[in-house]
A and B are shown apart, each in its own frame.
Chain A
């Protein structure tokens, strides 16, 4: 069962890579069209360069070459940087992970207690306050919140307005200071989603017949919440965690561009602008793999938590 899912996922990813490869190959123009406009570069040179980067071959041949290159851990060569794509991407991925993991931990760390609090006091003032706050945070796009914060930070002396480390410093504390604003913006976007899911899952679970029965026979409330309700409410949270993991390389794109965080996002945007085909394809595939792994992981966790799903699988 699990192996079938894994195999299916791998086939899907292969299809995704082939489809995007073909689409990118079919798109009008390439990096060298910009070179052609330069009077200092002769047409013969451009043709020679194009042949050197394999752009004259049909796309399926290039796709085969690319697959071999992936197997060698290179993922093709960036035309703009003239370096293997993997060497460019991996340090960027590490930076992106630092940002997304921090913000995910922050959002979940705040949303779970808040959700439990709101659900226990369901219908009361606390519940209302949290709900309004979550609704407001959900409505404000990170693009706008981030831009406002950058503007504010640029005028303040305390917060850096972008980047990952200062030129003079670069220590752990310095990185954390740079991390605070982008991670905060991302967490503000994720918090209301996690909060609402958790609060509603708990509210729904606490109305189930077996929970009511437990309450009726006099099981203590903390025990009911922790033992019965939480376990039932865990299922949607596991799916959500899978989605969170799925977005671990991709969800921070806008925040990275806004705050100049040297992650995967800005490089991807740059690659799209310069028509650096392999450098476009690699982040696309990275994000697709992360999404697939997140979904797979969520399914496994669900099976582990819920015997009903285990039996069905």
Chain B
């Protein structure tokens, strides 16, 4: 069951990342004559153009299913990039603080406290506020990745610092030190292998959170803007009056997104019972 979920999620992420292969229509392709059309799974005779829209079309006649895939590509790619960035930065900072000690440790940890002293969404928006408002689609993508990674590096960094500190106290590490091993060698040979588990666990926690952050920014109008497809933008579009007169295909993407997040949660809930459950940053 859990195993199946893992493959399902990998498959879904891959399908989203390869959106251009699977999407029946282009991201911004409009069929104005067939706007707001309900999902149909067979060609409607006499309609022009004679096309099938799996989840119907939006108010510009854009295929909702294609936009769901393209939007998902943006969110998943953004989530993966931001996760990689935040974890490498966290690893660099946590490693440096743990190994360096002294003033370096103190400075880095005080800095991380500055980042941790704001609630997650507020930190995200505050970081967003110091960047230019209007950006090109690719500029917006990188802006979001940067903002999210900047907002998210501090917790992994502190965790990794703690691990590095405790790893340095292990007898065999002490032994290696006594035999004259350098800090770089010890980090690579003895400490890094111990960090692998934490980093994986952190990645599992961080990734869904980052995808959500990406969606939230676009939803609030501070991320990727129309006509580029984004999950957050599609959600924002659902708050339009026009939606009330339309069809169930408009809400179907939300249900698919929920499925995506429920699947994402499954590998993370593999942890043995009795350990501290993870805490979403929203309440921190």
Contacts and interface: CB of A to CB of B under 8 A. Distances in A.
Contacts, number: 150
A160 interface: no
A23 interface: yes
Contacts of B269: 135
Of listed A19, A26, A269, residue having the most chain B CB within 10 A: A269
B122 A283 contact: yes
A275 B126 CA distance: 11
Contacts of A273: 133, 221-222
Given A139-B261, A148-B254, A244-B283, A28 B132 contact: yes
A280 interface: yes
A154 B251 CA distance: 13
Interface residues of A, number: 62
Contact of B117 (A16, A140, A150, A236): A16
Interface stretch (A49-57, A87-95, A250-258): A250-258
A141 B128 contact: no
A23 B118 CA distance: 15
Contact of A288 (B118, B130, B275): B118
Contact of A151 (B133, B251, B273, B280): B251
Interface residues of B, number: 49
A19 B133 CA distance: 20
B47 interface: no
Contacts of A200: 273-277
Given A12-B113, A147-B239, A268-B125, A284 B118 contact: yes
Given A24-B130, A251-B282, A151 B238 contact: yes
A292 B117 contact: yes
B113 to A, nearest CB: 6
Interface in B27-63: none
A113 interface: no
Interface in B238-284: 238-239, 243-244, 250-251, 254-255, 257-258, 261-262, 264-265, 269, 273-277, 279-280, 282-284
A189 interface: yes
A299 to B, nearest CB: 15
Interface stretch (B15-23, B175-183, B211-219): B211-219
Contacts of B99: none
A272 B284 contact: no
Contacts of B122: 250, 253, 268, 283-284, 287-288
Given A24-B129, A273-B133, A284-B126, A139 B117 contact: no
B163 interface: no
* Closest 7 pairs between A and B when the two form their complex, measured CB to CB: A139-B265, A27-B130, A250-B119, A196-B277, A139-B262, A247-B283, A287-B122
15 contacts: A19-B114, A27-B130, A144-B257, A147-B238, A150-B238, A150-B239, A151-B250, A197-B277, A246-B119, A273-B221, A273-B222, A280-B126, A288-B118, A288-B122, A291-B117
Given A140-B262, A147-B239, 14 more contacts: A139-B264, A147-B254, A148-B258, A154-B243, A200-B274, A247-B283, A258-B239, A269-B222, A271-B129, A275-B129, A275-B133, A288-B118, A290-B119, A291-B284
